[in-house]
Structure 1
Amino acid sequence: MNTTPTTSLTVTGPLRDRYDEILSPEALAFVGELHDRFAGPRHDRLADRMKRRYELGNGRDLAFMPETASIREDAGWRVAGAGPGLEDRRIEITGPCDPKMTINALNSGANVWLADLEDATSPTWANIVEGQLSLFDAIRDQLEFTSPEGKNYRVTDPSRTPTIVMRPRGWHLVEKHIEHADRTGQQLAASASLVDFGLYAFHNAHELVRRGRGPYFYLPKIESHREARLWNEIFTFAEERLGLAHGTIRATVLIETFPAAFEMDEILYELRDHCAGLNAGRWDYVFSIIKNYRGRGQWFVLPDRDRILMTLPFMRAYTELLVQTCHRRKAHAIGGMSAFIPNRRSPEVTERALERVAADKRREATDGFDGSWVAHPDLIPVARAEFDRVLGERPNQLDRMRDDVHVTARELLDIRSAGGEVTLAGVRANISITVRYLEAWLRGIGAVALDNLMEDAATAEISRSQLWQWIHQDTVTAEGEQITRQLVERLLREVLADLPTPEGHKLAEAEDVFREVALQEVFPTFLTVPAYTRYLVERGPSAEAEREPSAERESVTA
């Protein structure tokens, strides 16, 4: 007798063509089970984050935890390591999961595609569900796309596509088009992490294994080993529920928060049965430094965004510690993003930028990284040449132990080594980047080419959080002008006056969000949280009030 699976979930978003294939009763039942078991622990981990931010704001410094010293000192344990198709990760391309970008990534020649439902995706209901459809079709070699101009896109050689590693949204985000009933019967917005992971794993895990790869994930915004433990519990449950062998799921953790840099060994340990490696998510890492230490005085004020380089001492300490930690545990160490977008109208600009990309990848390969990220296919040959020069025919350099590295907590915390010079041009640039990115994000575009760089939520977060910090720390520019709300408001008006206003633009809404995330007294922990709640929810007016009791809505003013 056939019965329809029951679920604690309710879909409130509109159902368009083929959405029922992703939002099937069976898939929703599985995602509902994830919520029944793990929604409560998720809230506990978010509460932990809020507590830590409060302590840091009141003078506590991050440190390596004495209570987990035995894990760090035990040289005997190792992680599961690369799954099938992940042995060679020297070049990874990142991007959103719309059909065109999916096909471009699969045709790029990269070793790995980070299929991004997080920072490179504006989480409209359409982008999330149709992104899952793109992945579903791509995995089965049935994805095609025809542009409005009539150009047809398809994967040219399915046998040579990159291994897909999907990045779900972070723990702090919700999916307000799906609700789940808690134990009291109250309807709450679903966890975006559990929705993204659950739908992808349910539909694709067995097909990926059948094709010789596996269900692989990038885990974003993790701040502690307890958050990693929660993911490990989710993976174990999912494998049991879906009939997969233990350890089939593999995860690469982004070390893109400041607290996580002090718990890399512990994060690997908690995920050891499912872990493939760590990634140096450098732009979110910079944002996290500002967020956690924004009220701690001039020692923690960073200079203009374009002066925050990977060669700075505190950034070198972070990346070298990551390589050493990974290789000691036989985990891949994946380097950071090169976000330059080639400018065919300016060969000189492109040539200089490609030289910088090459130098960046040369440093990473020489330091021992096993691979690195690029945002554009044209950067792949440049990046590959640098890694090929170091790796040769080897798939990785896990045998490079970096015993010469001895990083202390003080070195990770040495933000002062960056210098603190801020210019009016840097202030104006941060305003322009934040407003233009928000405008595109509100139109449903999460990866935006601005000034020859691919901007995503992480880089926009640096720009707006620097503005907030500069204002609240009474920072004075190199030109001698104090950065105040009034100064930023004046420059904001000038920036807005210079921007084009094509039909359908969202500049007014972007300006509104900008003021909320950069100019208010309270610092929103993520700019996407208020922007999503106010503008991206396709529901009636009764849903405008936030009903998700997430600790991430609160923040501590220093």
Structure 2
Amino acid sequence: MLGFGTFSHSISAGRKTGMGYDVPEGVDIRGRYDPEFARILTRDALQFVADLQREFRNHIKYAMECRKEAKMRYNNGAMPGFDPATKSVRDAEWVCAPVPPAVADRRVEITGPVERKMIINALNSGAKVFMADFEDALSPSWENLMRGQVNLKDAVNGTISFHDQARNRVYKLNEHTAKLFVRPRGWHLPEDHILIDGEPATGCLVDFGLYFFHNYAAFRQNQGEGCGPFLYLPKMEHSREARIWNNVFEKAEKMAGIQRGSIRATVLIETLPAVFQMDEILYELRDHSVGLNCGRWDYIFSYVKTFQAHPDRLLPDRVLVGMAQHFMESYCDLLIRTCHRRSVHAMGGMAAQIPIRDDPAANEAALELVRKDKLREVKAGHDGTWAAHPGLIPTCMEVFTNYMGNAPNQIETMKRGDAAVITEEDLLQIPRGVRTMEGLRLNTRVGIQYLAAWLTGTGSVPLYNLMEDAATAEISRVQNWQWLKYGVELDGDGIGVKVTVDLFGRVVEEEMARIEREVGKDKFKTGKYKEACRIFTQQCTAPALDDFLTLNAYSHIVMHHPDGSSRL
């Protein structure tokens, strides 16, 4: 079996940029130089990333153009649906490669950013899996991304530690830890600090390429074949995007000289178009798949974005768009059936609550909501679920274990092949509920606060007893935009009041005053709240809806240092 020396055959003459990084031809680093980052940004690793970029960039560009064409169709009145051209894939009786024993039991997974202390606590949390996130829970600054790669390398090697000087406490890994999954960014996000042949690198290829290059050998040495690396793949809309990932995996395995199918991935079904492509996505990844996940918050965001030109499909207050809505229940039900028919995991959604330490009654009420949601998931057939905070893991674990017993999953016991067919109409049923002034206010208040934190480098933010990530800001933004565009008449306390630009302006002013009271004048003054307010307000009132808030805001956190040679 060949090792990582296999990579060296393709490396061309490189160049060292002053006191900065040693880079191969055609690669420029515009991020700050740091000796720790140089451990990750080696010439060999950068050559691997560049090879991936050069081979797949045209495929990625084509996939992004296909997204634009689909959006135009939906904006002109078309509806997403099952593709007649791939009916044979959906009807055929095929299965994915067997789930590796190392990740057969995934009943509770914890997620969070690739911050050093978070990684240690999450791996020690008692969860079966920790998903380290380069995507929605991370603000993609150069510092966060590169420190995240350093942290993950140390975690895989078992050497990660963190000294909390304020508490005079050292954090280290326990003997038994959760299995590590990594979520790279989506296809649409660039990495502006790394240029390849004069163009920004594709963010997910940077995240995957650096992580794979530096860690696969350690995975194999420490855990043997069939033990990873494991990934989560976000934001896909079509199976052609899964095909690119599959080809990336095969290229990486071939270059490293490792067994085909060593890399395994779970795909988040978090866009409305993707729910009609689940069989096809699994088919493209059938040698590398370990299931699908219900990314339900992003799914709600995608529902609004997909139907942005359909005034008959306005969402109610976002707090009312839960699993009791028929289109949401149908989406999860179809995901479970699809995964189990193809012999892989069907993972449930996020429990976003965080412990309420100063109010035991409110804390118990929150935990009861978690229990009910997790019981619904396990009874429906999910093989596992997500939690945002270590304090929720015992509750989630108890619910799943009480129902599943010692079985690692429900793949074989919950096949349900004879269940009623889920139709396009089920998946597209219009949500029901009221639209209120409080809904508009909550969207505005949460969206601005999340974006303010994101601009200062924090992508996972506790707000009003919930752990929020980028999906929260996206739902808030697109719902405000939708209500403004169509002049929604509010129900409840605001009955007879239409959402106009003037009304929204008053709401923004009043909610900014509330934020200042809640966070304190000093924090408000030194934070990025005014900048976040300006960006969020522009996005909500723009004539055309931008695809992603974070893509628009990314330019505000890019900091170039020419040739990566500057040191701060």
TM-score normalised per structure 1 = 0.93
Specify the alignment match of 2:301 in structure 1: 287
Against the structure 1 CA distance between its residues 541 and 531, is the aligned structure 2 distance closer, same or farther, given a 3 Å change threshold? Answer: farther
The structural deviation recorded for 1:391 is 1.0
Cα pair 1:103 1:153 within 8 Å, conserved? no
Q: How does 1:2-41 map to 2 (within 5 A)?
A: 6-41=24-59
Contact 1:225-1:267 within 8 A present in 2 as well: yes
1:64 equivalent among 79, 82, 86 = 82
Q: Distance in 1 between matches of 2:25 and 2:409?
A: 44
SS, match of residue 118 in structure 1? coil
Distance 1:152 1:50 in 2: 50
Q: Distance in 2 between matches of 1:348 and 1:36?
A: 56
What is the aligned counterpart of 1:318 among 326, 331, 340?
331
How many Å separate the matches in 2 of 1:127 and 1:540? 16
Q: RMSD between aligned alpha carbons? A: 1.7
Structure 2 residue aligned with 1:507: 529
Following superposition, the deviation at residue 104 of structure 1 comes to 1.1
Deviation at 1:156, TM superposition (A): 4.2
Alpha-carbon deviations, 1:28-50, whole Å to 9, x = none? 01001001101111111011101
Find out whether 1:96 has 2:113 as its counterpart.
Answer: yes
Query: What SS class does the counterpart of residue 422 from structure 2 fall into?
Result: coil
C-alpha separation between the residues in 2 aligned to 1:422 and 1:16? 50
Residue pair 2:320, 2:433 contacting (<8 A) in 1 also:
no
**Residue identity opposite 2:50 in structure 1:** G
Indicate if the aligned counterparts of 1:278 and 1:326 stay in contact, CA closer than 8 A: yes
Partners of 1:433 and 1:476 in 2: CA distance = 22
Contact conserved, 1:7 with 1:33, CA < 8 A, in 2? no
Cα distance in 1, alignment partners of residues 356 and 320 from structure 2: 22
Choose the corresponding residue for 1:305, options 318, 341, 362. Answer: 318
Measured in 2, the distance between the counterparts of 1:504 and 1:161 equals 38
Instruction: Say if 2:529 is the partner of 1:529.
Output: no
| Per-residue deviation, 1:516 | 2.5
Residue type matched to 1:504 in 2?
T
Residue 518 of structure 1 and its aligned partner are, at CA, apart by: 1.2
2: CA distance, partners of 1:367 / 1:210: 38
1:203-232 CA-to-partner distances (Å, cap 9, x unmatched) read 001211222221111000000000000100
Rounded Cα–Cα distance in structure 1 between residues aligned with 2:12 and 2:543: 53
Give me the whole-angstrom Cα distance separating, in 2, the residues matched to 1:530 and 1:3: 35
Quick check: 1:13–1:538 contact (8 Å CA) kept in 2? yes
Query: What are the superposed Cα offsets for residues 356-412 of structure 1, whole Å, 9 maximum, x if unpaired?
Result: 110110011001110000000111111111110121001001011122142000110
Q: Determine which of 31, 52, 70 is the counterpart of 1:52.
A: 70
Aligned residues: 532
Partner of 1:394: 407
Q: In the alignment, which residue of structure 2 is the partner of 1:519? A: 541
Out of 209, 213, 219, the position equivalent to 1:208 is 219
Distance 2:86 2:26 in 1: 37
Q: Which residue pairs with 1:484 in the alignment?
A: 500
Separation in 2, partners of 1:129, 1:514: 27
Q: Does the CA contact (< 8 Å) of 1:175 and 1:190 recur in 2? A: yes
CA distance in 1, matches of 2:314, 2:130: 35
2:141 and 2:557 in contact (8 A); partners too: yes
Please give the residue correspondences for 1:395-414 in structure 2 after superposition, counting only pairs within 5 Å. 395-399=408-412, 400-403=414-417, 404-414=419-429
Change (3 A) 1:373 1:156: same
Shift of 1:7: 4.2
Contact 1:100 1:153 in 2 (8 A): no
Alignment of 1:234-253 (within 5 A): 234-253=248-267
Q: Which runs of 5+ in 1 are unaligned?
A: 182-186, 543-558
**TM-aligned CA deviation for residue 152 of structure 1:** 2.8
SS of aligned partner of 2:103 = coil
Tell me which residue corresponds to 2:381: 368
CA gap 1:424/1:541 in 2 versus in 1, 3 angstroms? farther
Offset at residue 4 of structure 1 (A): 5.5
**TM-score of the two chains, using structure 2 as the length reference:** 0.91
Q: Which runs of 5 or more structure 2 residues have no equivalent in the other structure?
A: 1-7, 15-23, 564-568
- What secondary structure, in the 3-state scheme, does the structure 2 residue paired with 1:333 have? strand
Pairing 1:424-463 to 2, within 5 Å after superposition: 424-463=437-476
Distance 1:140 1:180 in 2: 29
Aligned CA distance change for structure 1 residues 540 and 515 (closer, same or farther; 3 Å) = farther
The structure-2 alpha-carbon separation of the partners of 1:81 and 1:297, relative to structure 1 and needing over 3 Å to count, comes to farther
What SS does the corresponding residue of 2:58 show, helix, strand or coil? helix
Tell me the secondary structure at the aligned position of residue 348 of structure 2: strand
**Among candidates 510, 514, 533, match of residue 494 of structure 1:** 510
Distance 2:450 2:247 in 1: 36
Paired residue type of 1:54:
M
Secondary structure of the 2:509 match is helix
User: 1:253 Cα deviation (Å)?
Assistant: 0.3
Deviates more, 1:396-405 or 1:459-468: 396-405
Instruction: Tell me the distance in 2 between the aligned counterparts of 1:494 and 1:369.
Output: 42
Question: SS state of the match for residue 166, structure 1?
Answer: strand
Output the CA distance in 2 between the equivalents of 1:211 and 1:468: 50
Q: CA deviation at 1:519?
A: 1.4
Query: Is 1:225 aligned with 2:243?
Result: no
CA shift, 1:3, in A, is 7.9
Shift of 1:81: 3.9
Name 1:113's counterpart in structure 2: 130
Distance 1:532 1:290 in 2: 22
Q: C-alpha separation between the residues in 1 aligned to 2:420 and 2:363?
A: 35
Measured against aligned partners, the alpha-carbon deviations of 1:57-98 in whole angstroms (never above 9, x if no partner) come to 1011111111000001101x1112423421100000000011
Q: State the distance in 2 between where 1:64 and 1:151 align.
A: 57
Q: Distance between the aligned counterparts of 2:64 and 2:37, measured in 1? A: 30
The 2-side partners of 1:199 and 1:413 are apart by 39
Alignment of 1:70-85 (within 5 A): 70-75=88-93, 77-85=94-102
User: What amino acid does structure 2 have at the position aligned with 1:409?
Assistant: E
* Equivalent position of 1:552 in the other structure: none
One-letter identity of the residue aligned with 1:151 = N
Secondary structure class of the residue paired with 1:95: strand
TM-superposed CA distance for 1:153, in Å, is 3.5
2:537 partner letter: R
Which digits, 9 at most, give the CA deviation of each residue in 1:189-210, with x for residues without a partner? 1100100000000000121122
> Identity rate of aligned residues, in percent?
43
Q: Distance in 1 between matches of 2:132 and 2:269?
A: 18
Q: Distance in 2 between matches of 1:540 and 1:236?
A: 34
Which letter does structure 2 place at the counterpart of 1:31?
Answer: V
Using the alignment, how far apart are the partners of 1:144 and 1:266 within structure 2?
Answer: 42
Q: Secondary structure at the match of 1:18?
A: helix
